[in-house]
Amino acid sequence: MQITVTTWNINSVRYRIDLVAKFIKAVRPDILCLQETKCPDNAFPIKRFRRLGYEHAALNGQKGYHGVVVLWRRPFESKTIRDYCGKSDCRHIAVTLGDAAGLKDPITLHNFYVPAGGDIPDPSLNAKFAHKLAFLDEMHADATLRPAAAGRAIMVGDLNVAPLECDVWSHKQLLSVVSHTPVECDKLLGVQKAGGWIDAVRQKVPEPARLFTWWSYRSPDWTKSDRGRRLDHIWTSATLADRVSAIAVAREYRSAERPSDHVPVTATLDV
């Protein structure tokens, strides 16, 4: 059985619902994971998504900020929500895919929106950066993010860290910029190592090739400067690492009308 999984920080699902619909019609991913939906669950445009073929939605949203959702064409076995740093701020949701979806061996899928961290890379001066570092520390300590040796799991989302030198347009110039500071990179790579996660994107597009998924709104001509960062990730447990057959980064959506500053990233897996 082959499935496609897309992760996309959409930066307001209601504002960009037409753009999402355009992507769905073109790519038709089986599972769509969105971050920064900025929408309470009771106002989520579920009817529109059902018309697009997604009968099942696992929602964790709030008004105006953050929010994550997993949409699928098939039923979920279960869903769970974890709060980090003592905040109920809608940054995580996990679903289990199993018998109801035609999978003999279940898969756990985590969808994350890690805090951005503000602009000042000093936790003593910037509470947002302190929150981000604490969030990554709690992810590292979270036993549910450490799949068993034979476990099948996927983690996706806007992890808001570009951990490798080739994940940013200039390693040297961004060493003191939030999202690529050494402390953030070390912490995110620590989460990956602790869980035995495999970076599916870099499996297919290995270093030192540059690859970006985000371009700032502050750049007037993002295509000319191409000053991007890879903030959006797809990781798999070791048991699924060799099942990833393709990765696609749809950077053309950054040039769409009313775009998100992130673009969709899609993995194809044989499960």
Return d(Cα 252, Cα 268) in angstroms, integer.
Answer: 19
User: Which domains, and CATH codes, for the chain?
Assistant: 2-270 (3.60.10.10)
> Residue 10: which pLDDT band, with cuts at 50, 70 and 90?
very high
pLDDT of residue 20: 98
- Tell me the pLDDT tens digit for each residue of 155-195: 999 999 999 999 999 999 999 999 999 999 999 999 999 99
In terms of pTM, does the model score above 0.95? yes
Q: What percent of the chain has pLDDT over 70?
A: 100
pLDDT at 219 over 90: no
pLDDT of residue 221: 86
Mean pLDDT score of the chain, rounded to an integer? 97
Contacts of 95 (CB under 8 A, 6+ apart): 58, 70, 72, 76, 77, 78, 79, 80, 108, 109
pLDDT at 268 over 80: yes
**Token pair for residue 130?**
């302190």
